Structure 1
Amino acid sequence: MAETRRRFEQDFRDGAVRLVRETGKPIAQVARDLGIKDGTLANWVNIDRRRRQDGADDGLGEDEKAELARLRRENAELRMRCDVLKRSLALWVEDSMGR
């Protein structure tokens, strides 16, 4: 017999995670109160914790994160171009010196 999965709205997920985070109640108790499996809520809490550790605490908005990523790519490209120019100059000097 196939298992049917329940779908939960993102607002519900966020609210459940917020209950665990703000009340300090155990995940199992909050899950029982909400009528969901504790493993499901534990997954949501872990995802939220990882998301918070991966950069939500840096205070950057989505636009700022996108700009930062763009600037990092641009910086890497400019470094590569600078390195190519340095090598080209070194080869040119070496060639003009007759070596």
Structure 2
Amino acid sequence: MAGRHGQYPPELRERAVRLVAECRADHDSEWDAMRSVAQKLGIGTTETVRKWVRRAEVDAGARPGVTSEESAELRRLKAEVKELRRANEILRAAAGFFAAELDRPHRSL
């Protein structure tokens, strides 16, 4: 079940973050707590749990950074800008084509 982003269900991520917060005091360091939670839940690497914890801290406002919601909005807006630029290129090409057609002398029937 370990691997790239998206392979772990959101419930497992939330549970891991919650467990790290709950057992921090029982370990010598936050990293030890994360390692313990990763092992207990069968998560591939401690680094995966660390990223989830940091993301949760940013989303909660406890750590500076771009929240998940802001990141999703940025992705959506970038995709929209890309599509609009593509549409503008198509319109520019069409306008050039029709302008050339208007300038061309037409034969009478």
TM score, norm. by length of structure 1: 0.50
TM score, norm. by length of structure 2: 0.46
